[in-house]
Structure 1
């Protein structure tokens, strides 16, 4: 009998199809508790991206490094944004790592592309004024009123769309002026301040929409939970009625952060409100915002502040003389 070490036997490649491997991969992701949205994203990636570059009924060994690199090259030549092909590689690598770990595929290195991050898009002050103009309650449609309240909430809290869809009426504490966010990307519950303006909007909205504590704050008309696609469509319709270009629901998060910093809010409070677990995440976020700090340099520079203070003292003394 030929002598073979056990560790060599364990490294024997198990022949499976891409389809079989990905089905196991999804089950594994579900078993370790990944979010439903994450699982849906992996399924879409498999159906609409991975299956387009390779035959999923073939062996997993046909998924090679050159296929991935050629796909990235193709995306770059076709003018795709850096984040698009970077995300493609990240998702592919996550699937490959599972295959490597289970000896379905011989390991090879997949490098995530280095890209220049684009500045985040925000809504302008002029656009916000159009969106935040209160509709006439005696004449407007229910959708217009809900859209107005939704925009106020998104811009007034900086929350993600999934967070908004899971907020209940009882999560809004009008006594302590706080809102509880149960559904966060980091899986931590946080409380954020309820601004006076948003407080007045929500008080009226809850009464008009006849909502009770157990209800979702922004449900469908039958009070069932709204999905993201419905939310996106409703807000798109609202934007169209207000003659404002729609740039995405979560663009309000970028807009909130930008105006927060412009209005001299500090990064540590912003970290708490955005629900970031690490201050470095907030720093990277701010670096991508369209903020020009040069206009405020003189206003806050210690040398200029002290000089202005001394100038006022000298002027005061001269007047007294």
Structure 2
């Protein structure tokens, strides 16, 4: 008589559990171990907009297996999604499946994060930025467009993430020291960022016009409540249409900030501080994906070209 492993019996008994129940339990677990609200929201959206496209809430958890997952990944690739999209999908799925494996809801199988060829990051051109940063006529423009204008200024002056932007309060701004406290960061660290003169002047006027108080969110909805990422994105989409510029994402401002910082002569170590990367390798990888064009600068500082230029000047003097 064949012997049956106890673990196999456990898994078979648990496999009758439904997807919805398992995912709710997974979210409760994530909350209990102190994951950030933004992370929990992201995982909720993954379930709603990704998993439920492929499975039903009342499907048994056992329908997920290695062949199922590979089929999902291949479908994303065949549909033309970029590598970052399907890689992120697998990362989030793997986190959920790992929870199911450890609770023996599923027989464990390998979930491999796909290798991808990273493409260059998009940026906004100087011509587009000129339109976006054109100061509106405060006597005629609507409140939403003015707020979006200042939002664009802030993103271009700081290169901060959208999550950081949406959680800044007026009290986090120190106009005397010309600095800003970024208390809500991806790395959990609080950061003091410099405030440019242009941004300082614009923010002071903006705060005065909207009559914002110290405890108020700096970029709230018009009713004063905190804005969600989706609302921020839609507001900027509307502003971009008004400026006749193609919207290519909120995070594209971060890419643009980094690109222009390097092009203007900034070095990667200072950029690391401004982008709040915990590791210089992240900044190096980030810069390598930016659409930088340094041909003229590289030739200008090339040792051979520099020496040759000096020799030419010497020869000219000798001939005289």
TM-score (structure 2 length as normaliser) = 0.90
| CA 32–309 in structure 1, closer or farther in 2 if over 3 Å, else same | farther
* Distance apart, 1:252 and its partner CA: 0.5
- Give the superposition deviation at 1:46: 1.7
Does residue 41 in structure 1 map to residue 42 in structure 2? yes
Q: Secondary structure at the match of 1:108?
A: coil
- Contact in 2 for aligned 1:53/1:67 (Cα 8 Å): no
Q: Which residue of 2 aligns with 1:289?
A: 290
| Residue in 2 that maps onto 1:172 | 173
Q: Which residue of 2 aligns with 1:218?
A: 219
1:125 positional shift: 0.2
- Give the 3 Å change call, closer, same or farther, for CA 231–56 of structure 1 in structure 2: closer
* Cα distance between partner residues in 1 of 2:308 and 2:171: 51
Partner of 2:109: 108
CA contact (8 A) 1:54 1:63 kept: no
Range moving further from structure 2, 73-82 or 260-269: 73-82
Distance 2:176 2:304 in 1: 43
C-alpha displacement at 1:258, in angstroms? 0.6
Q: For structure 2, list consecutive stretches of 5 or more residues without a partner in the other structure.
A: none
What is the match of residue 132 of structure 2?
Answer: 131
Per the TM alignment, residue 301 of structure 1 is displaced from its structure 2 partner at its CA by 2.5
Which aligned pairs between 1:83-122 and structure 2 lie closer than 5 A? 83-122=84-123
What's the secondary structure of 2:201's corresponding residue? Answer: helix
- CA RMSD after TM alignment: 2.3
Unaligned stretches of 5+ residues in structure 1: none
Provide Cα deviations, 1:204-243, integer angstroms capped at 9, x if missing partner.
Answer: 2222222232222112223221222222122111111111
User: Match of 1:270?
Assistant: 271
Residues 200-211 of structure 1: matches in 2 within 5 Å?
A: 200-211=201-212
Q: Secondary structure at the match of 1:211?
A: coil
SS in 1 for 2:193: strand
**Cα separation, 2, equivalents of 1:54 and 1:226:** 31
Distance in 1 (alpha carbons) for counterparts of 2:173 and 2:50: 41
DSSP-derived class of the 1:91 partner: helix
Counterpart Cα distance in 2 of 1:190 and 1:143? 28
How far did 1:10 drift? 6.2
Secondary structure of residue in 2 paired with 1:269 = helix
Change (3 A) 1:52 1:226: closer
